[in-house]
Chains A and B, each alone.
Chain A
Amino acid sequence: MTSLFFHELKVQQVLFWRSRESAFFTFLLPIIFLVLLGSVYGDEDFDGIDGSTYLLAGLIGYGVVATAFAGLAITLVVRRESGVLKRVRGTPLPASVYLGAVIVSTLVVIGLEVISQLVIGKYVLDASWPASPVAFALVLVLGAAAFAALGLALTGLLRSADGSSAVVNAIYLPMTFISGVFFSTEGMPAFLRAIGDVLPLTYLLRLFRETFVAEDGLDMPWGSLAVIAIWGVVGFLVAVRMFIWEPREV
């Protein structure tokens, strides 16, 4: 079973890196944004954090959403509608091993992306390392897991491959603004902040930023953790109910 898992994981990695769309939009774009925005706003100050570090934490959050949520959902909808998932389901490969490998492959990409961002942030943009690395890693794992669950849920809700990128982008791009990936949400109109207050990315970003500045670890931010976990659990339940292996549009 383990060797079967690694067999599938290896191919999932090959598939990810060979797809120009996923390699660019989910891996490179968050890094490009970090370099561009960091060079322009790196010396400013947001919410009492230096600009480079603020943006670094924000774009790590962006990368998690782009990869675990948007990238995963689009990839799986395209595979489902083209019949690949159905074909895989007709082999002895257990469904859990397949989905497990797809999700872990996504987490591997996120890991590589975060390492690249941290290194570029530190050595190019003069941002700091996370002050609490352990808390940072735990938040990363929780956030990636929650957004992967939401990505799977979205896969179940999307009906066709054609419109999937449009729908996914229409959900996650506004979310990155409202949740404050690129700038502080302080100056936003009240209704946008109200929306932001229920979005999981808002809390993920808040936690990431705290791990960069809190020297003595986080002060048990149960509220933020709970919001992310609840979204993750809801995503998981919707995914279990809605995920299918056969094309919706026959």
Chain B
Amino acid sequence: MSAIEVSGLQKSYGPFQALSGIDFRHEEGEVFALLGPNGAGKTTTVEILEGYRKRDAGEVRVLGEDPGRAGSAFRARIGIVLQSSAVYPTLSVREILDLFAGYYPRPRDRSEVIDLVGLREKADARVRTLSGGQLRRLDLGLALVGDPELVFLDEPTTGFDPAARRQAWETIRGLRTLGKSILLTTHYMEEAQKLADRVAILRDGRIVATGTPAELLAGESGVEISYRLNGEDVVLRTTDPTRVLHELTSKALVEGRELERLQVRPRTLEDVYLEVTEDQA
């Protein structure tokens, strides 16, 4: 079954066309990542799916319901991490989790949530004393405290240091093992590559590429070979690296040259992303 089905989704703000007809399907239990530069329409899409915004046209089903009309019962089944943190600054971590737990019919154990997001030492600290990263983890805790089937994470790790980001990834992988469906937006390609089962890349309100990270990488060229020749960078993309490299190095040996800064690396999602979001611009 699909957690989310979107077809022909359109939305404009005045003259600005934010989404011009997008389609995707997010299967239950998957981590689905929406990628794209700022202004591509990621947050607009997510907020339509969460029920915050009305769509202009298209079909949307989230957990089988139309989020534009759904009420309390629908919101009890989803968890939301918005792009910016917002909680009462004078409550403690434990108090705010208690407050939100009370909103849901079958909340998770509060103490378990505190451990899950790594806020054990801060459990009794007032929210206003938390660091940016801790606040973000509290946001995640609040999204999980209702034990949702589907979790929306809008740029959940923006502003994290690398260690905190890796920790957040572990938490998100943990959610996936619990069978939750997760819709993630991010502009960190490494994050998408590490976490997502499938991704869709948005640009100017359209989906320009979609598939599993492996499918997106399986395009015309699997490996990138780069070196410096006469002070100029040369980049070769090839699906046949052994042969290309062999020819290259034999030639260099014959000519008695050094291939400066020779590098062979697999193409990453970032390469694909940059191609589809910039080349056509």
Contact = CB atoms under 8 A, between A and B. Distances in A.
Tell me which of A8, A87, A93, A246 has the highest count of chain B C-beta atoms within 10 A of its own C-beta: A87
Contacts of A15: 88, 90-91
A83 interface: yes
Given A83-B86, A87-B86, A90-B80, A14 B52 contact: no
Contact of B50 (A11, A90, A93): A90
A7 B102 contact: yes
Contacts of B73: 92
A248 interface: no
A21 to B, nearest CB: 11
A92 B104 contact: yes
B42 to A, nearest CB: 15
Interface residues of B, number: 27
B86 A90 contact: no
Nearest to B96: A11
A90 B50 CA distance: 8
Contacts of B75: 90-92
A127 B52 CA distance: 53
B146 A90 contact: no
Contacts of B86: 82-84, 86-87
Summarize B's interface: helix, strand, loop or mixed: loop
Contact of A90 (B82, B87, B90, B102): B82
Nearest to A11: B99
B84 interface: yes
Select the residue from A14, A91, A92, A246 with max chain B CB neighbours within 10 A: A91
Nearest to A7: B102
B280 interface: no
Contacts of A11: 91, 95, 99
For chain A, give the interface size range: 20 to 34
B160 interface: no
Contacts of A14: 90-91, 95
A93 B85 CA distance: 19
A90 B75 CA distance: 6
A4 interface: yes
A127 B72 CA distance: 50
Interface string A6-34: 01100100110011000000000000000
Nearest to A18: B90
Contacts of B78: 90
Contacts of A84: 86-88
Nearest to A3: B102
A93 B105 CA distance: 10
Interface string B13-38: 00000000000000000000000000
24 contacts: A4-B102, A7-B99, A7-B102, A8-B102, A11-B91, A11-B95, A14-B95, A15-B90, A15-B91, A82-B86, A83-B82, A86-B52, A86-B86, A87-B80, A87-B82, A91-B75, A91-B104, A92-B75, A92-B76, A92-B103, A92-B105, A92-B146, A93-B103, A246-B52
Top 3 nearest A-B pairs (CB, nearest first) are A83-B86, A92-B76, A18-B90
Interface of B: 50-52, 71-73, 75-76, 78, 80, 82, 84-88, 90-91, 95, 99-100, 102-105, 142, 146
Given A11-B99, A92-B104, A92-B105, 12 more contacts: A4-B102, A7-B102, A8-B99, A8-B102, A83-B86, A86-B82, A87-B86, A91-B103, A91-B146, A92-B72, A92-B103, A94-B72
